[in-house]
Amino acid sequence: MTARVVIVGNGMAGARLAAELHAREGDRKVTVLGAEPHRAYNRIMLSTLLTGRIAEPDVELTEAAGHGIDRRPGVPVTAVDRSAREVRTGDGERISYDHLVLATGARAVVPPLPGLDPTDLPQRVVPFRTLDDCRRILAVADGARSAIVLGGGLLGLEAARGLATRGLATTVVHHTGHLMERQLDPAAGAVLAGTLAGLGVTIQLAVPATGVVADDTGVRLDLADGRSLHADLLVLSCGVRPDTALAQAAGLTVRRGVVVDDRLRTSDRSVSAIGDCAEHDGALTGLVAPAWAQARVLADVLTGTDPLARYRPRPVVTRLKAAGIDLAAMGDAAGGGPGEELTFADPARGTYARLRIRDERLIGAILLGDNPAVGTVIQLFDRGHPVPADRRALLLGRALGGAGAAPSASPALMPDAAVVCQCNTVTKGALVRCWRSGARTVDAVVAGTRAGTGCGGCRDAVGGIVDWLSEAESVEVTR
């Protein structure tokens, strides 16, 4: 068993690992060193914070603290000495470890444009990654009338929607021909652009930016087609890059991320890496569900709870968290190749659906607009189950009968193994067990299972299951 664990990074992965270690038996000292000056917070809720629908206290992570856990925000680690098994902090302290975990996450990319110095950005030009970034965006947005978001990927669109909600005339500038090109096909991108336009967001496509000029009064973004856009605020949403500097300087194997095996071990057996900084099987993750799954596996391995635990990636489902836009994309939805392809588009209503089916299994899907079958489609994709013969029901979102029913329609018909909370991989069966062990409110079930504590998108489904269980209970009682 490992006695002294040092975790570098108090973000979504590092904070969760500390909590997972705390929850397992054994006597160990865990030290979490975080460069950011804040307590751990839910980074994925920053998009919602930007809209003003929640406040800063709502994004704090209430992870376990107490005996054996020393959380130290505002303490960057500057070097790792692997031969001495110690890390050095910004103020010169040396801390010894038996096992070191790198959970250093990723940094926002600042595009190499004239006028942008990544180490000294103008006040009105802000990336979107940290709570401090969010505070700066809100400070500039307060009293501003217009904003430009550079980058039409998922985060850029969430930022744009948030700024538009605050009343800013918002323009998204995207270098390729359609929005969210990594998840969507051009037709879905066009429907999404139409929906955003209806919500007050202007979209400029296929126009690379060529330069930025910013001063105390405003920002000018120059475009490759010769035009210039002016605004009070420029938000940069141009992707992220794994933060591997520490690992690289320590001589660990780094490709795009810190290379890890199924046990999350790096090229040094005493050092692991999890979350956005890690590269597993050639892939970076960039999402919270895999980061939290890795934290679980590593805690099992390090504490000896399950020495045979191994990290196995799960299929990824992407959902846009923006009021007024329902979008779920999964698998290889935009690609071509063998198999069935079914699409339905109703741009006037902001609706688009595309299913890709091979060997009776969903290999990709895009559902944009209100589609009651979204829960069913996610479950079918996630579990690799055969799709129903009536494909139209999935595509058009009509109610399905039998085992294919949408979870929101009837929790009773959901299989126990259906994953309700994608971020924490919580199944319906786990929710039912938690309820049966005495949790009688949504908050109690959430506290007992962690369902709903990631992006929060499954809260309604969890509420529906608790309601259903309560009703089932009262039926039993009256019998």
Ligand X SMILES: Cc1cc2nc3c(=O)[nH]c(=O)nc-3n(C[C@H](O)[C@H](O)[C@H](O)COP(=O)(O)OP(=O)(O)OC[C@H]3O[C@@H](n4cnc5c(N)ncnc54)[C@H](O)[C@@H]3O)c2cc1C
Sole window of 103-111, 211-219, 337-345, 425-433 interacting with ligand X (rule: CB under 6 A): 103-111
By CB under 6 A, tell whether 11 contacts ligand X: yes
Q: What is the DSSP string of 303-341?
A: HTS-TT--------EEE--BTTB-EEEEES-S--SSSEE
Tell me the residue nearest to ligand X as measured from the CB.
11
Residue 8 tokens, joined: 């570098």
Sole window of 32-40, 183-191, 262-270, 297-305 interacting with ligand X (rule: CB under 6 A): 32-40
Instruction: Assess contact for 235 and 201: CB atoms under 8 A.
Output: no
Out of 7, 35, 147, 421, the only residue in the binding site for ligand X (CB under 6 A) is 35
Residue 281 tokens, joined: 């099987």
Number of other residues whose CB lies within 10 A of the CB of residue 55:
8
Size of the site for ligand X (CB under 6 A): 36
> CB of 292: closest distance to ligand X in angstroms?
9
By CB under 6 A, tell whether 36 contacts ligand X: yes
d(CA 438, CA 425): 21
Site for ligand X in 259-278 (CB under 6 A): 275-277
d(CA 409, CA 401): 10
Q: Which of 147, 10, 26, 441 is nearest to 18 (CA)?
A: 10
Residues 231-260 as x/- pattern, contact with ligand X by CB under 6 A: ------------x--x--------------
Out of 5, 6, 7, 8, the only residue in the binding site for ligand X (CB under 6 A) is 8
Instruction: Assess contact for 205 and 152: CB atoms under 8 A.
Output: yes
> CB of 254: closest distance to ligand X in angstroms?
14
d(CA 276, CA 396): 35
Q: Which residues on adjacent β-strands are paired with residue 340?
A: 357
Out of 163, 172, 291, 394, the only residue in the binding site for ligand X (CB under 6 A) is 291
d(CA 71, CA 17): 12
Out of 30, 33, 378, 393, the only residue in the binding site for ligand X (CB under 6 A) is 33
By CB under 6 A, tell whether 149 contacts ligand X: no
> CB of 77: closest distance to ligand X in angstroms?
4
By CB under 6 A, tell whether 80 contacts ligand X: no
Q: Which of 182, 184, 175, 203 is nearest to 327 (CA)?
A: 184
Q: Which residues would be at the binding site for ligand X (CB under 6 A)?
A: 8-14, 33-36, 43-44, 46-47, 76-77, 103-106, 128-129, 155, 243, 246, 275-277, 286-289, 291, 321, 455
